[in-house]
A and B are shown apart, each in its own frame.
Chain A
Amino acid sequence: MWRCVHLYGPTVERTPGFVIVNWFIYSKGAFMQVIRLTAAPHGFGETVRRDNWWTTPLLVFVVFSSFIVYATWAAFQNAHYEYGPYLSPFYAPVLWGDSAHAWFGPQPTWWPALLPFSPALLILPFPGLFRFTCYYYRGAYYKAFWADPPACSVGEPRKRYLGENSFPLILQNVHRYFFYIACIFVVLLSYDVWLALWFPDGAGGTEFGIGVGTLVLLVNVVLIASYTFGCHSGRHIFGGRNDEVSKSPLLSACYDCTSSLNRRHMLFAWCSLFSVAFADIYVRLCSMGIWSDWRIL
C-alpha cells in the first residue's frame, strides 16, 4: 500500500512486519525520483548494533518489576510497618490504622468490606503515580516495558505509534500535580525522621537517641528530597518557565538548585527507589525480630 503524505517528504509503505519509508523527491510539483532507504532494521529487536543494548532495558525491567511486586505485597500486609519510633515510608503518614502514628484513629467504617484494609493503600498511590508520571521513569519504562523503542536504533515490535500526543499517554501531563503532592510527602517523611529521634525511655516518656533505623530513614528522606526537588516540572515552576529568571534573585537561586539536582535526576530516581524499599525492609525485619536495631546514641 502506498500513501503520499505531503509535497516533500516520505511515504510509508506497510507490509507485514516492516515499515519501509520511501522518499519521493519532488521538483516543481512533479516526481523526479524515488529513492528507497537502505535496509533500515524494523523488525522487533533488529539492529546492526554490536553492544549488549538489551542489558539496560532488562535491568530496568527486572528492578522496576521487583519493586512493584515488593511494594504491592508490603502495602497489603498491614503489619510490621513500625518499630519503636520508626515508621516505614510505605505507610507514612498513617491516616487510619492500628498504630500509635495514626492521625485519625483505627480503620474507618466506610472502608469497603471487600477490600483488605491497609493504611499504605491510601498513601502509596501518590508517590507511586509521582514516579509513574516522572519524565525519567517514563522514558525508562517506555523502553523496558513497552519496547518503544527497546533501545536506541533497535527495531520496535509495533507499527502504530501515538506517543504522548493523544489518549492515554497525554494524561502524563498531570505530572506537576503529583509533584506538588510529593513535596508534601517530603515534609511528612522529614517529620518522621524527627520522630525517629525520640525513643521510649521505659518510664512512659521519650528520650533523645539515634539508632541505625534513624539513619536509614534520614538517608531515605534526603534521597527522596533530592529526587523530588530535581523534578522537571519543579524546575519549570522554579524558574524554567521564566525567560529572564535572573531578574528575581530568589527564583534564580531556586532554579540553580533544582537544575543541579535535575542533572542527577536519574541517579536520585534509582537511589531513592532502593532507599525507600530498604527503609521498609529495615523496619519490617526489626519489627519481625529478624534484625535488631542498633542504638548509636
Chain B
Amino acid sequence: MDATFRLWRSEPGGAGALTDYKTPVSEGMVVLDAVHRIQAEQAPDLAVRWNCKAGKCGSCSAEINGKPRLMCMTRLSTLDLNKPVIVEPMKTFPLIKDLVTDVSWNFSVKKTIQKFKPRQPDAPDGTWRMAQKDIDRVQEHRKCIECFLCQDVCHVLRDHGKHDEFIGPRFLLYAAQLEMNPLDTADRLHDLKDKHNIGYCNITKCCTAVCPEHIKITDNAIIPLKERVVDRFYDPVTRLLRMFK
C-alpha cells in the first residue's frame, strides 16, 4: 500500500512549502520509518533529526497532522492514510531546515533555574536518607526526555511568543522536580513568580496532552508550584503564620 506524506521542505532564504511524497508503507511502520524511506529513496537532502527510534531521546519531535508528537512513536495504523499525512517541524522554535528546529532556547532557559542544593548529609559517611514515598513524587518529573513537545504546544509560547518572560511547561516541571525534592534546600519560588512567570500558565493542560512520557505536567508539577507560590506571596494567613515561625 502507498501513502502520501506531506512534508515541510524549507528553501534557502527562510521560505518553504509542504511537499507531497508517495511511498510504500507496511504494517508496524511509524511516521519516522516513512520519513526515512522518503529520505533514502526520494529526497536525500531532507533534514530530519532522530536518534533512538524508541521514544527515549526526544530528538524526533514534529507536528503530525497538526499535533505535536514524536515521529518514532506515531504508528501509521493510528493515522488516516487515505489523506496525506502532514509532517511539519515544531512551530514554537526557529527552523534550521525541513523538519529540524533549533531548540537551544530551551537549554539557555534551563540555566536560569537554580541548581539542586542538597542539605547537609544525614549520615557521617556523607550520605542521605529519604523515604521512597517522598522521592516517588519527583520520580515522575524525572521521566522527561526533553522532547520539548510541551513547549511547542504551550500557547503562551506558541501563540503569544513570550519566550523572553515564560519558561514553559518543561521547565516548570524541572523546577518542580528540584523544588519538591526532599533533599533540596534552594528556594525557587521568587524566581517562579517574578522571573519565570508561572502565572502565565492558564492550566489549559495542552502540555499534559502531548507529553509522550505521560507526565501529568499540569496536575503534578505546575499546579503544586502555583500553590506554593500562593502560600508564599498571596495567602495572608500563611504569610502571617510564617512571621510567627
Residues of A within 8 A of B (CB): 5-6, 8-10, 12, 19, 21, 23, 25, 34-38, 40, 42, 47-50, 135, 138-139, 142-143, 148-149, 152-153, 155-156, 159, 161, 163-166, 169-170, 173-174, 176, 232-233, 235-236, 240-241, 243-247, 252, 262-263, 265
Contact = CB atoms under 8 A, between A and B. Distances in A.
Contacts, number: 168
Contacts of A34: 14
A5 B159 contact: no
A164 B65 contact: no
B76 to A, nearest CB: 15
A23 B94 contact: yes
A148 B10 CA distance: 30
A36 B234 CA distance: 40
Given A37-B95, A42-B159, A153-B153, 18 more contacts: A8-B105, A8-B108, A9-B105, A9-B164, A10-B105, A139-B202, A148-B204, A149-B155, A153-B206, A155-B159, A164-B199, A164-B200, A176-B230, A241-B228, A243-B181, A246-B131, A263-B219, A265-B219
B202 A164 contact: yes
Given A48-B66, A165-B200, A10 B159 contact: no
Given A232-B223, A244-B182, A138 B203 contact: yes
Contact of A48 (B16, B63, B160): B63
Interface in B1-52: 8, 10, 14-16
A112 to B, nearest CB: 30
A163 B67 contact: no
A118 B134 CA distance: 49
Interface of B: 8, 10, 14-16, 63, 65-68, 80, 83, 86, 88-89, 91-96, 102, 105, 108, 130-131, 133-134, 153, 155-156, 158-164, 180-182, 184, 197, 199-206, 209-210, 218-219, 223-224, 226-231, 234-235
B164 A243 contact: no
A50 B83 contact: yes
Contacts of B210: 152
A5 B65 CA distance: 32
Contact of A164 (B130, B201, B205): B201
A164 B80 CA distance: 38
A273 B131 CA distance: 38
B209 A152 contact: yes
Contacts of B93: 23, 37
Q: Which of B65, B68, B155 has the most CB of A within 10 A?
A: B155
Contact of A149 (B88, B204, B230): B204
A8 B106 CA distance: 11
Contact of A236 (B95, B227, B234): B227
Contacts of A48: 63, 65-66, 86, 88
21 contacts: A9-B163, A9-B164, A19-B161, A21-B161, A25-B102, A36-B14, A37-B92, A37-B93, A38-B91, A40-B158, A135-B203, A138-B202, A139-B204, A142-B203, A149-B159, A159-B160, A161-B159, A163-B197, A165-B197, A233-B227, A243-B182
A246 B227 CA distance: 20
Contacts of A148: 155, 202, 204
A174 B108 CA distance: 33
Contacts of B108: 8-9
A211 B57 CA distance: 59
Given A149-B159, A149-B206, A38 B199 contact: no
A218 B209 CA distance: 34
A140 to B, nearest CB: 8
A246 B156 CA distance: 36
